[in-house]
Structure 1
Amino acid sequence: MPIWKRNLIICWFGSFATMAGMNLVIPFLPIYIQQLGVHNIARVEQWSGVAFGATALSAAIVSPLWGKLADIHGRKLMLLRASLGMAIIMILIGFVHNVYELVGLRLLMGAISGYVPAAITLVSSQTPREHAGWALGTLTSGSVGGSLIGPLVGGTLSEIIGLRHVFYITGGFLLLAFLIAWVFVREDFIPNNSARLSGREVWKIIDKPKILIAMFITSFMLQLASMSIEPIVTIYVKLLMNNASHIAIISGAVVSAVGLANVLIAPFLGKLSDRIGPYSVLFVCLLAAAIILIPQAYVRNAWQLIILRFMMGIATAGFLPAINSLLKSNIPETISGRIFGYNNAAQNLGNVAGPVIGGQMAAYWGFHYVFFSTSILLFINALWVYYTSKGSFQISGSRCA
């Protein structure tokens, strides 16, 4: 087996484990906070939001730094740092005594993370150009799958073995990811002086900075569109079902539908981008996602919403493979870690902004406007991508003809 394929498999497992670890706490975080001594419902909701958002916010701030260090010292080292660091912090979360320690460790977890962008950088640097879309799509399915499975596994295990033991087991899986990467990942890394350039100097050596900025905005919009429904999904489903039973299960299905479609379709759309070009895939997926958002405001029952969210997942599945392929083809390899770090920061900012914006819009203007406004933003994003990459659609098509 070629080294790039073996590293892809290992990075897929590591990305799955780390994203599952970062998200498994979602179902029982309020309950854990109550066990730590916070009993007022309003305060529990506030601390839950702070504890969840702290991880994404600190990851957004620190991601460019880890990307730069990956360019200087190697991508394998960043894989080892992130997986071992997260394993230790995850185990420590199981020992916290109060909510302040919990938030502090969640903040530290976001800061120490960075496995996924390091894995993307490693895979993109080693994969032959003709297989880049498929490889990056497959890797995306691992991180998205972890985000999807994490809450399901976390909620189930918390009822079987208790909340604190969930953190110990997850820490063990992250430690396993560290050991596998340490033993099996191979990287022939050669440092380059350009990796130590300042941020301003980095942008000077990039031929098409507008394309990179467009990709960062698109990554932000992907997470914003996916996460905007998060704070309102249970209430929306409750209204659609007229307060019927099993609302929690149906709400979970609505949230999971996007991730499930991503896992199933991302490798295929990545392979398609290898054939027809990532610009075309990204542009069509942006338009499709923008269109599919609109009927979600008019659904009459929860099953219609689940189907539309699954279709939304099919459309958004093409985003990250195409974005990562475009980033790979428009930057020197010596600074790829830093650029993918910037892109990961944009994604994490979308994770923070999506629930906040969606919740506030639903509260002040109603559920419908969450879908309408997000759709308009994706339409604008699609036009911007087309404008910044004008002419590349024809180039991609002629290359594959």
Structure 2
Amino acid sequence: MDVQKRNFIIIMVTNFLVAGSTTMIMPFLSLYIESLGDFSDEYVQRWAGLVFGVTFVAALFMSPIWGRIADRYGYKPILIINGFGIAISIYLMGAADSVHELFMIRLFMGVVTGFIPTSLAFVSTQTPKEIAGKTLGTLQMGSVSGTLFGPVIGGLMADSFGFDYTFIITAVVIGIAASLVALGIKEVKKVANKDAHVYARKTIIQGILHHRLLINVMIITSLIQVGNFSIQPLLSLYVAELTVDSSQVAFLAGVTFSAAGVGNLLFARRWGRLGDSIGYEKVLGFLLLLSFTFIVPQAFVTELWQLMVLRLLFGVAVGGMIPTTTALMRREAPVEIQGEIMGYNTSFRFLGNIIGPVFGGIVSGFIGISSVFIVTGVLFVLAFAFLKYTLAKPEQDFEDVLLEQEMKSM
């Protein structure tokens, strides 16, 4: 087996393990906080949101830093640090004595969170540009599969073994994933141009802001996550409105939410391969319109099965966006700064993770849960309009933009 294929298989397996393990703890996080003291429902709900969100806040600022380090020293060391860092964080979560300790541990976890985005960047840089979409779409199947099974397994383990042992088992599994990377991955060093320019961080940021396509795609990346996360905290309430048997709400909400993941799993590779053939911009624009088409009708369903079908179709559309945007970054960024560019793109993803639940809560508070689907659909249309506007402008070479910004700052 050649090095590239072995690396890909290991990364796909470890993505499954990490995604599945980190989502194991999500179903019982609020219950775990409740077990740390005699708290009111309002206190538990408020701190559950803070404890969940602080990880993404820290990760938002750290992603470009890890990317810049990866450009210099390689992705494998970053994957190992992130893997063992997440494992240690989850182990410590099980040993927390107070909510404030748990909050600080989750903050530290945000510093080392980024295993899956880093693995995407790693595979992207090791993959020829002409098949990047198909390869990244296939890789996403690993993390999506883990995300689908993780919450179910985590809930069953918490019921069977208790919170403490679930945290320990989860930490061990992620430690095994990090060990697989350490022992099995052989990184093929990127060959940079001998005359490659060393760009300052300020120059790279200014270059992104002035490169119409890159900044637009990063904003779209954030909107994708807003669309995914805006309804997540409210989905069980919406399912409750559509079902008669209240005893099955939690289970039915889980199945409904997982439907989008199934659609994602089935079509991510196909969209990536199509992007390789006809262009990532065309596929991205089509998927944005497709997402709008499938998310807006979710506001008007009268039966739960209708919502499940639409969530499945929405997942089909959304599933191609992350590998498509990542492949596009791979195409545009010079090889010597790809890690940092991917890091900024990851920051926009985490920003969407933070904004999504808050955005959904505000919209539903003013005009109802069903309106969240409509407003989110409008965001996808706006993203499509921005993309079309960008593509109508003259094409920009990112290296030329970087050099121009560097000259201005001198």
Same fold (TM over 0.5): yes
Q: CA deviation digits over 1:64-97, x for unaligned, max 9?
A: 1111111111111111110011111111111111
- Listed one character per residue, the Cα deviations across residues 144-178 of structure 1 (whole Å, up to 9, x for unaligned) are 33333221221111111111111111111111111
> Matched residue of 1:187: which SS?
coil
**Partner Cα separation in structure 1 for residue 106 and residue 141 of structure 2:** 24
AA aligned to 1:106 is R
For 1:223, the equivalent position in structure 2 comes to 225
More off after superposition, 13-22 vs 225-234: 13-22
SS of residue in 1 equivalent to 2:187: coil
Could you give the per-residue CA deviations for residues 303-329 of structure 1, whole angstroms, max 9, x where no partner exists? 110110110000001101110111100
Residues 206 and 331, structure 1, Cα contact 8 Å, conserved in 2: no
- Paired letter, 1:49: G
**Displacement, 1:202?**
2.2
Which residue in the other structure is 2:94 paired with?
Answer: 94
Q: Distance in 2 between matches of 1:51 and 1:38?
A: 18
Greater Cα shift, 208-217 or 186-195: 186-195
Q: Please give the alpha-carbon distance, in whole angstroms, between the structure 1 residues aligned to 2:190 and 2:140.
A: 26
Give the whole-Å Cα distance in 2 for the aligned partners of 1:133 and 1:208.
Answer: 25
- Rounded to whole Å, the distance in 2 between the matches of 1:81 and 1:191 is 24
What letter corresponds to residue 365 of structure 1 in structure 2? Answer: I
Alpha-carbon contact 2:24-2:155 (below 8 Å) kept:
yes
The count of residues paired between Structure 1 and Structure 2 equals 393
Give 2:404's aligned residue.
none
Cα distance, 1:240 vs. partner? 1.2
Cα deviation for residue 196 of structure 1 reads: 5.8
Residue 242 of structure 1, CA deviation: 4.1
Q: Which residue of 2 aligns with 1:389?
A: 391
2:47 is paired with a residue whose SS is: helix
Report if the CA contact (8 A) 1:67-1:337 is conserved: yes
In structure 1, runs of 5+ residues without a counterpart are: 394-401
Alignment of 1:157-172 (within 5 A): 157-172=157-172
Give structure 2 stretches of 5+ with no counterpart.
Answer: 396-410
Where does 1:192-231 land on structure 2 (aligned, <5 Å)?
A: 197-203=199-205, 209-231=211-233
Alignment of 1:298 onto 2:300: yes
Summarize the Cα distance change of 1:204–1:369 in structure 2 as closer, same or farther, 3 Å threshold.
closer
Q: Distance in 2 between matches of 1:39 and 1:195?
A: 56
Change over 3 Å in CA distance of 1:195–1:319 after alignment to 2: farther
* Cross-structure match for 1:31: 31
| 380-389 or 239-248, which deviates more | 239-248
Q: Establish whether residue 326 from structure 1 lines up as the match of residue 331 from structure 2.
A: no
CA RMSD after TM alignment = 2.1
- The answer to whether the 8 Å contact 2:208/2:215 transfers is no
**C-alpha distance in structure 2 between counterparts of 1:135 and 1:297, whole Å:** 34
Distance 2:369 2:186 in 1: 49
The 1:372/1:94 distance shift into structure 2, 3 A limit, reads same
Q: Which runs of 4+ in 1 moved over 4 A?
A: 190-196, 203-208
Q: 1:316 & 1:195 partners in 2: Cα distance? A: 36
User: Take 2:248 and 2:268, find their aligned partners in 1: how far apart are those partners?
Assistant: 30
Q: 1 CA distance for matches of 2:208 and 2:291? A: 30
TM-score relative to the length of structure 1? 0.93
Does structure 2 conserve the Cα–Cα contact (< 8 Å) formed by 1:67 and 1:117?
no
Q: CA deviation at 1:206?
A: 6.9
- Letter of the 1:168 counterpart: I
- 1:262 corresponds, among 261, 264, 268, to 264
